[in-house]
């Protein structure tokens, strides 16, 4: 056999093997591949919002369905490919025939997508925005909520933009399997952005009071809710006694009282104030600060975790001042301004000393380490501690390690610690002393009577340089890791929740 003939034979056999492998790949594996390729679709739609082109960049079942005959067969044969629905509707900058046609096609595609999910429950995410050329009460725009209402009985997760002009469409529409709801009132979003600012006051919150969407009797399984405003401002009624997890944005009044009192079985709560509300705004508004004075703690005894974002320092104290003393977790970051003194942030934590197990707190300004140590020395129940120091803070150094993490009686139950800083000045000796003290002693060291530290994460913000550890230190850290310690020095970007290795 000639060399060329041999090569052709091998090529032919290799081609057949490759084809055979693709042919015998089971549908179930293809479905997993398809689902994985579409996994970030809902997040991309929510993030990129309303741009039509953003949807074209995201893998979706229609794209997979059009690749080849075999993929089309798999997509149509397996409803699970279609049960996660996400759609971004184009910004309508003119009511032209072409744009209206494109919008109708997209609504029809949304309906077809859900139909192809068969009898499976659906996760639905969509984004749309109102414009002067295409208002929410437009007859074409009304096609979107009608599609949602038609498939309401199968929707398990709903992340949506809804106009108050659509509320009538959802009246008496049951959502029997709905468990999670992210509700954005398009009218409210347009209102707060209309004058380029964030109004702060009583009248602002009541502008939609005549429009009410009552879903209290329609969602028997609903437990998790995200809202961008208060219940009253967007006219939404839900089965509040079922809610165990809630997130509310644009809390511009004393809504903490309403939230904590109306939801008796609430376990986790996250609230964010209107950006740019200062301590002066909070203190001078009788509708805010005055409502907290002399008020006792609410009786939301099921509440375990309270997270607060973009708030005035005084608001932090007011809200914690009415929270139930049974709290196990407090998470507060991103103050709108530096606190007048550390006491505004640290003192409200002290009443929770006997129950607080998880504390995550961020400071945007220099912090008095002595006051921090004094506060932490009273919080003896803490198991997990996260502290983020802003750009203006002093570098994290040996003194912090010694006074906060290697002092007898301070944080005796600590098992996990994450410290994020713009500059890390920790020597090898201080780092090893901390780890030995917390139960990872070497042959020549002794550990004291405190819980064994299980996880240590040191986060470096953008521009910070990681410390250069000596070889002996790296070797001992290796032994500690082999003995169960999780240890990382990593870079962090943006919000503390977003951590990059």
Q: 101 or 501: whose pLDDT is higher?
A: 101
Q: Which of 316, 328, 324 is nearest to 264 (CA)?
A: 324
Q: 225 or 13: whose pLDDT is higher?
A: 225
- Length of the chain counted residue by residue: 501
Q: Is the per-residue pLDDT at 292 higher than 80?
A: no
Cα separation, 289 vs 310, whole angstroms: 17
Q: Is the per-residue pLDDT at 462 higher than 60?
A: yes
Domain contains 68: yes
Q: Is the per-residue pLDDT at 425 higher than 60?
A: yes
pLDDT (0 to 100) of residue 14: 53
Which residue range(s) make up the domain with 415?
338-500
Q: Are 184 and 160 in contact (CB under 8 A)?
A: yes
Domain contains 345: yes
Quick one: 231 and 380 in the same domain?
Answer: no
Cα separation, 383 vs 301, whole angstroms: 21
Angstrom CA distances, 26 to 71, 79, 83, stand at 12, 16, 20
Residues 234-263 have a mean pLDDT of 82
Domain contains 266: no
Domain contains 261: no
Residues 298-327 have a mean pLDDT of 82
Domain contains 301: no
Structure tokens that stand for 110 in this block:
């949304």
Most confident of 50-54, 275-279, 411-415, 487-491: 411-415
Q: Is the per-residue pLDDT at 196 higher than 50?
A: no
Residues 266-284 have a mean pLDDT of 75
Q: Is the per-residue pLDDT at 68 higher than 90?
A: no
Quick one: 219 and 78 in the same domain?
Answer: yes
Quick one: 378 and 490 in the same domain?
Answer: yes
Q: Which of 417, 425, 405 is nearest to 468 (CA)?
A: 425
pTM for the predicted model, two decimal places: 0.77
Q: At what angle do helices 143-150 and 97-116 cross, to 10 degrees?
A: 10
Q: 337 or 179: whose pLDDT is higher?
A: 179
Q: What is the mean pLDDT of the chain?
A: 76
Domain contains 28: yes
Domain contains 46: yes
Q: Is the per-residue pLDDT at 208 higher than 50?
A: no
Band (443; pLDDT cuts 50, 70, 90): very low
pLDDT (0 to 100) of residue 90: 63
Contacts of 7 (CB under 8 A, 6+ apart): none
Cα separation, 208 vs 295, whole angstroms: 29
Quick one: 222 and 366 in the same domain?
Answer: no
Quick one: 375 and 492 in the same domain?
Answer: yes
Residue matched to tokens 């498939």: 151
Cα separation, 405 vs 395, whole angstroms: 16
Quick one: 24 and 172 in the same domain?
Answer: yes
Q: Is the per-residue pLDDT at 117 higher than 80?
A: yes
Q: List, for residues 46-62, the tens digit of each pLDDT value.
A: 775 544 444 556 788 88
Q: 185 or 435: whose pLDDT is higher?
A: 435
pLDDT (0 to 100) of residue 471: 86
| Residue 55 neighbours by CB distance under 10 Å | 20
Lowest-confidence region among 11-20, 69-78, 261-270, 474-483: 11-20
Q: Is the per-residue pLDDT at 499 higher than 60?
A: no
Q: What percent of the chain has pLDDT above 70?
A: 70
Band (497; pLDDT cuts 50, 70, 90): very low
Quick one: 233 and 349 in the same domain?
Answer: no
Which phi and psi angles does 418 have, rounded to 5°? -135, 120
Domain contains 372: yes
Check residue 206 and report its DSSP letter.
Answer: G
Quick one: 43 and 166 in the same domain?
Answer: yes
Domains identified in the chain, total number: 2
Quick one: 177 and 47 in the same domain?
Answer: yes
Quick one: 367 and 239 in the same domain?
Answer: no
User: Apex CA 307: angle with CA 252 and CA 284, to 5°?
Assistant: 30
H-assigned helices in 78-229: 97-116, 143-150, 186-194
Quick one: 228 and 353 in the same domain?
Answer: no
pLDDT (0 to 100) of residue 47: 72
Quick one: 92 and 222 in the same domain?
Answer: yes
Residues 352-362 have a mean pLDDT of 89
Specify the CATH number for the domain of residue 409: 3.80.10.10
pLDDT (0 to 100) of residue 371: 77
């Amino acid at each position: 056999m000639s060399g060329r003939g041999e090569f052709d034979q091998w090529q032919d056999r290799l081609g057949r093997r490759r084809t055979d492998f693709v042919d015998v790949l089971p549908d179930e594996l293809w479905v997993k591949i398809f689902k994985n390729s579409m996994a970030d679709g809902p997040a991309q739609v929510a993030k990129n919002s309303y741009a039509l082109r953003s949807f074209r960049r995201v893998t979706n079942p229609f794209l997979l369905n059009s690749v080849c005959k075999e993929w089309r067969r798999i997509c149509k044969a397996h409803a699970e490919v279609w049960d996660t629905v996400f759609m971004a509707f184009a910004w309508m900058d003119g009511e032209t025939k072409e744009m209206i046609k494109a919008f109708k096609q997209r609504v029809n595609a949304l309906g077809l997508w859900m139909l192809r999910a068969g009898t499976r429950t659906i996760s639905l995410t969509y984004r749309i925005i109102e414009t002067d050329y295409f208002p929410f009460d437009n007859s074409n725009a009304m096609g979107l909520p009608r599609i949602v209402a038609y498939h309401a009985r199968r929707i398990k997760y709903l992340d949506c933009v809804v106009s108050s002009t659509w509320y009538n469409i959802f009246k008496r529409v049951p959502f029997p399997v709905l468990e999670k709801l992210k509700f954005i009132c398009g009218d409210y979003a347009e209102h707060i952005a209309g004058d380029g600012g964030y109004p702060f006051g009583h009248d602002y919150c009541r502008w939609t009071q005549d429009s009410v969407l009552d879903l209290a009797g329609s969602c028997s399984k609903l437990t998790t809710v995200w809202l961008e405003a208060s219940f009253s401002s967007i006219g939404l009624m839900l089965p509040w006694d079922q809610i165990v997890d809630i997130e509310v944005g644009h809390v511009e009044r004393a809504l903490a009282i309403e939230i904590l009192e109306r939801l008796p079985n609430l376990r986790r709560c996250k609230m964010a104030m209107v950006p740019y509300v200062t301590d002066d705004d909070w203190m001078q508004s009788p509708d805010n600060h005055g409502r907290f004075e002399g008020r006792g703690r609410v009786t939301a005894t099921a509440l375990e975790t309270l997270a607060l974002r973009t708030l005035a320092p005084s608001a932090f104290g007011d809200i914690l001042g009415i929270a139930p003393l049974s709290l196990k977790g407090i998470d507060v970051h991103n103050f709108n301004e530096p606190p007048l003194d550390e006491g505004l942030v640290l003192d409200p934590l002290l009443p929770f000393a006997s129950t607080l197990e998880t504390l995550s707190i961020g400071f945007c300004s220099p912090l008095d380490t002595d006051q921090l140590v004094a506060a932490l020395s009273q919080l003896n129940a803490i198991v997990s501690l996260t502290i983020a120091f802003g750009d203006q803070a002093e570098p994290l150094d040996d003194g912090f390690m010694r006074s906060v993490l290697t002092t007898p009686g301070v944080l005796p139950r600590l098992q996990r610690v994450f410290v994020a800083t713009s500059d890390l000045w920790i020597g090898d000796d201080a780092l090893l002393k901390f780890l030995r003290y917390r139960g990872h002693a070497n042959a020549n060291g002794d550990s004291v009577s405190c819980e064994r530290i299980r996880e240590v994460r040191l986060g470096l913000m953008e521009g910070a340089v990681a410390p250069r550890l000596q070889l002996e230190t790296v070797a001992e850290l290796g032994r500690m890791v082999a003995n169960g310690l999780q240890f990382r020095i990593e870079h962090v970007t943006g919000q503390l929740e977003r951590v990059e290795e």
